[in-house]
Chains A and B, each alone.
Chain A
Amino acid sequence: MAVEVKGMKTWSGLAKKRRRPSEYEVVTTNLQTRTRHPDQAYELSPAPLLEMNEFYKRHVSESPLQHPDWEGFRDPDEMIYRVYTRIQDQQEQYVDGLLDEHNEIGHDATLSDAWLDVLERLYTPRRFLQMALQMGAAYLVQIAPASTITACAGFQDGDEFRWLSRCAYRARELQRAHPERGFGETERRTWEEEPAWQGFRELLEKTLATYDWGEHFVALNLVAKPAADEAHRQLGRIGRRFDDGLLGLMADNQMRDSERSRRWSAGLVAFSLENEGNAAVLSGWIEKWVPLARQAVTAYCGALPEQDDAANAALGAVESFHRSLGLDA
């Protein structure tokens, strides 16, 4: 005879919330193993014996950004994998439609020389910027002290790869339409040498070399990514005036992903503010990183044609995002 078996309403770890948990909470919370012991994130020799335990201790346990229970963080979008693939499949279908439509009408052949110069110089090299953003998100995935943060960063990692891929795709289309130009050939050199990109390159390289998890989050998600994406929005906006409606529509679509990143980032800031002292830490980091972003946006947007204040528009959007975080109070 089998022994008596009893059930329970929900995970014991969610029971004290006294409300029905969402699917997101059921499948995403409390899955992190790294935060059980400050000097032993990984189940091997504690710090300093095992380098990786020392690494995690230095960059997470001893980070200036502290919260007693990071696992309490919730993504405001409650994004889960099976919804992510559904949404992004739909969005990719939309982008496929745009590309198909524009290709059918020979869009790329109609672009002016002046605008092709812009695309070659300020659009297709973006895939290197996307790579940096992707690598930055991947760092958050592996260092985050909560599974709910890892999940948000994981989807962001996917999003960055999405736009890296679309940018590579467009480079090849433009190369086919204009083989005499540098599309598909010169992007790396442009990214490394073109003055308009150097601010972003500096900002992103320095972000990647920042390993404190909290500062990396601020540098990437509160400063570098919003700045890079807002600059791209300006490129798309100006594209419309040069009869490149495709770029504008694609940039709009990319902003959907960017805004999701801002929603969870703002959510994480709000959650962090439960802990006194974090406001000053976060503000301090923002102040530290914003000048690099300002320099990056100014250089990039300044190179756009007929840019009528694109830099200020982009920077204004980044600043209003910062104001929305409730750090000034």
Chain B
Amino acid sequence: MALLEMHEWYDLARDTNWTPGYVAEDEIFPPELSDPFGISVEQWETFDEPYKVCYRDYVETQRDKDIGAYSVKSALARADFFKKASPHWKALLALHFSPIGFAEFHSASAFARMTRFSRAPGMRNMATFGTLDEMRHGQIQMYFAYEFIKQDRVFDWAHKSSKTENWIIISLRHALDDVEHTRDAISAAIMTNFAFEQCFTNLQFIGLSADAAKAGDHTFATMLQSIQTDEARHAQIGTPLIQIMIENGRKAEAQQLVDVGFWRIWKQFSALSGISMDYYTPLEFREHSLKEFMHEWVVDQFGRNIKALGLDLPWYWDYFLHDIETFHHCQQIGIYVYRATQWWRPIACTSPAERDWLEEKYPGWNDTYGKCWDVVADNIREGRFERTVPVVPPLICNMCGLEVTGVAGVGRQVDGRTWNATNFHLDHEGRRYHFCSEPCKWVFELEPARYQGHRSIIDRVLDGTVPPGPDGFYEYMGQSFEERGVCGYDYQWIDGYDMPRAAAAE
């Protein structure tokens, strides 16, 4: 074929900046949406994407990926698998699919901000693929979730969650809107592409995929991996941006964007992937614990990447390492005991064998979290089911929107300080804000105006936004009576499952 190779012409496709003549440059590129750092356009034009793709190759590759992922044969296998899947795996699928459709689709807009407002032509091009990719991720996951709805109404939340005021959805939207959607194109890209995608998407899309393959849910595993190939490509927008920032004397700003983005996204993944990997995945299919996966894929890789870029580890690194071993165990307790506030059927996953595994992976688990589960199990054993649900509402973090948990003995010496995950608070302009951790509080203090007007679900109960009465809270969160979570095993897990766990495999 007498066709030019991409490298023979692509330089021209990246030569697309011009100087506006009919409106001021700032009217097309307002600094607050484009570049608040005052870096020159010549500098932005040095943006060089590490991995170049042209439109022609993009549509071909992506078409092929979808032909594989959507095959009719795999759809049949998936429906069949789902029918036989255990409550463990169903809870895992519900947790994954409920928020991910809108979250991924929403990301298309974050990339569109880069295409519209970046002054780096190569970045605009790559971000255009990012927009298309994220539409793909939204759509393919909506498609997969929809296949389950005929069997399980829980999956309706893949479609309806985007607009509900359920506390878990609020928590997720808060993090994503903060990181991806409410900043200038450069800041959002550093946070989204580097701190979020390059650091964390592996966790859900490679780590969970390994568990899925082992569990025999091959089409789910393949879909996750297929999505990750797109993520790995468009996540590369972040690195050259950080380099340009550093070269232009904006290292401190880049560092702060990474530190904030990394923390905010970690909290989300800690709950999502942490509970999926260490609890909801049936014991015999667990590939790695969250901690092992985090060390291999996030701690080591991120540590290497960040140093190679000339940045430092976030200041909260020691606390983060501690958090890897603790936060999601606390959240799992909260998710189970406040189960009616979730739309899926939460499960405890602390049968005797599972507890042994947790103790092995997280030495000391029995003496801390295990003690809380003992109380839950005792109440179930005595038939006092109502006492497995706390009477007081939880304290919710005004940053991550997750529960502020205080489990006895969890406070630990890190860096000569005791970190008790309880009640970091701040009084600001006449209001008290609660945080689950020092970094969540730190993020707030950096930009209070960004966060101070937001009300957590508990704030909304207290200020009367949530209607009173026993159903008011649930109705506000979009949950009809049937959409309030109940124990997925109907309490029959405390001495082991009477349902053979292997059922999930066949």
Chain A residues engaging chain B, CB cutoff 8 angstroms: 1-3, 5-14, 23, 26-33, 36, 42-46, 49-53, 80-82, 84-86, 88-89, 92, 95-96, 99-100, 103-104, 127-128, 131, 134-136, 138-139, 141-142, 147, 150-151, 153-155, 157-158, 161-162, 164-165, 168-169, 171-173, 184, 187-188, 191-192, 198, 201-202, 205-206, 208-209
Return chain B residues, CB-CB under 8 Å to A100.
1-3
**Which 10 pairs, one residue from A and one from B, show the smallest C-beta to C-beta distance?**
A45-B453, A141-B112, A138-B115, A43-B173, A168-B12, A172-B9, A103-B2, A52-B182, A11-B159, A168-B13
With an 8 A cutoff between CB atoms, is B462 at the interface?
no
**By the criterion CB–CB under 8 Å, are B146 and A150 in contact?**
no
User: A181 → chain B, closest Cβ, in Å?
Assistant: 14
Chain A minimum-CB-distance residue to B105: A31
Question: How far is it, in angstroms, between the C-alpha of A202 and the C-alpha of B1 when the chains are bound?
Answer: 40
Tell me the bound Cα distance from A32 to B487 in angstroms.
31
Closest to A91 in B: B59
Q: Is the CB of A99 within 8 A of B489?
A: no
Contact B149 A8 (CB under 8 A): yes
* Residues of B contacting A198 in the complex (Cβ-Cβ under 8 angstroms): 21
Could you tell me the distance between the alpha carbons of A267 and B183 in the complex, rounded to whole angstroms?
32
Known A-B contacts: A103-B2, A188-B15. Give 4 more (CB < 8 A). A6-B153, A43-B174, A82-B63, A192-B21
B149, B162, B454 — most chain A CB neighbours (10 Å): B162
Residue from the set A26, A88, A142 with the largest chain B CB neighbour count within 10 Å: A142
**A104 CB contacts on chain B under 8 angstroms:** 2
Q: CB distance B156 to A12 under 8 Å?
A: yes
From A85, A206, A208, contact of B62 by CB (8 A) = A85
Query: Once bound together, how far apart are the Cα atoms of A92 and B170, in whole Å?
Result: 42
Judged by a CB distance under 8 angstroms, whether B354 is at the interface is no
Which chain B residues border A138 with CB–CB below 8 Å? 112-113, 115-116, 124, 127-128, 131
Q: Which residues of A contact B87 (CB under 8 A)?
A: 2-3
| Residue of A9, A11, A33 touching B163 (CB-CB under 8 A) | A33
**Minimum CB–CB distance for A88 against chain B, Å:** 4
The answer on a CB contact under 8 Å between A92 and B153 is no
Residues in A with CB closer than 8 Å to B60 are 85, 89, 92
Q: Which of B134-142, B239-247, B306-314, B374-382 lies on the face that meets chain A? A: B134-142
Which partner residue on chain A sits nearest B176 by CB separation? A43
Q: Report the Cα distance A101→B378, complex, angstroms.
A: 78
Complex contact B178–A157 (CB within 8 A): no
Contact between A96 and B112 (Cβ–Cβ < 8 Å)?
no
Given A82-B139, A135-B124, A168-B10; A205-B20 close (CB under 8 Å) = yes
Q: Please name the residue on chain B nearest to A28 by beta carbon.
A: B139
- Are the CB atoms of A164 and B13 closer together than 8 Å? yes
Q: Is the CB of B454 within 8 A of A43?
A: yes
Instruction: Identify the closest chain B residue to A162 (Cβ).
Output: B55
Specify which chain B residues have a CB less than 8 angstroms from the CB of A168 in the assembled complex.
Answer: 9-10, 12-13, 15
Select B108's contact among A11, A33, A134, A154, beta carbons within 8 Å. Answer: A154
| Interface residue B73 (Cβ < 8 Å from any Cβ of A) | no
- Residues of A contacting B162 with CB < 8 Å? 30-33
B70, B102, B128: the one contacting A33 at CB < 8 Å is: B102
Kindly list chain A residues whose C-beta atoms are within 8 Å of the C-beta of B142: 26-28, 31
Interface contact A205-B21, CB-CB below 8 Å = yes
B46: interface (CB < 8 Å) = no
Nearest CB in chain B: distance from A329 CB, A = 34
- A86, A150, A206: the one contacting B23 at CB < 8 Å is A206
Map CB proximity to A onto B128-167 as digits: 1 under 8 Å, 0 otherwise. Answer: 1001100110111011001001111110101110110000
A31: chain B residues at CB < 8 Å are 101-102, 105-106, 138, 142, 162
Find out whether the CB atom of B16 lies under 8 angstroms from the CB atom of A50. Answer: no
Which residues of the other chain, B, contact A147 by a CB distance below 8 angstroms?
102, 105, 138
Identify the closest chain B residue to A86 (Cβ). Answer: B63
> Which of the segments B191-199, B251-259, B444-452 contacts the partner chain?
B444-452
Interface membership of B475, Cβ < 8 A: no
A2 CA to B450 CA, complexed, in Å: 44
Residues in A whose Cβ lies below 8 Å from that of B28: 205, 208-209
CB<8 Å pairs between A and B, sample of 21: A3-B87, A3-B489, A11-B149, A13-B160, A31-B102, A43-B173, A44-B174, A44-B178, A81-B132, A82-B66, A82-B140, A85-B59, A92-B56, A128-B18, A142-B113, A161-B55, A162-B55, A165-B55, A165-B56, A168-B13, A173-B4
Cα–Cα distance between A96 and B150 once the two chains are bound (Å): 44
Q: Chain B residues with Cβ under 8 A from A184's Cβ?
A: 12
Nearest A residue to B150, CB-CB: A7
Let me know if B489 and A128 touch, CB within 8 A. Answer: no
Q: Are B489 and A2 in contact, CB atoms less than 8 angstroms apart?
A: yes
Most A Cβ at <10 Å: residue of B9, B152, B156, B454: B9
B203 CB, min distance to chain A CBs, angstroms: 22
B109 interface residue per 8 A CB criterion: yes
Q: In angstroms, how far is the closest chain A Cβ from the Cβ of B257?
A: 16
Cα–Cα, bound, A242→B498 (Å): 81
Nearest neighbor of B482 in chain A, beta-carbon distance: A6
Cβ distance A93 to chain B, nearest Cβ, rounded Å:
8
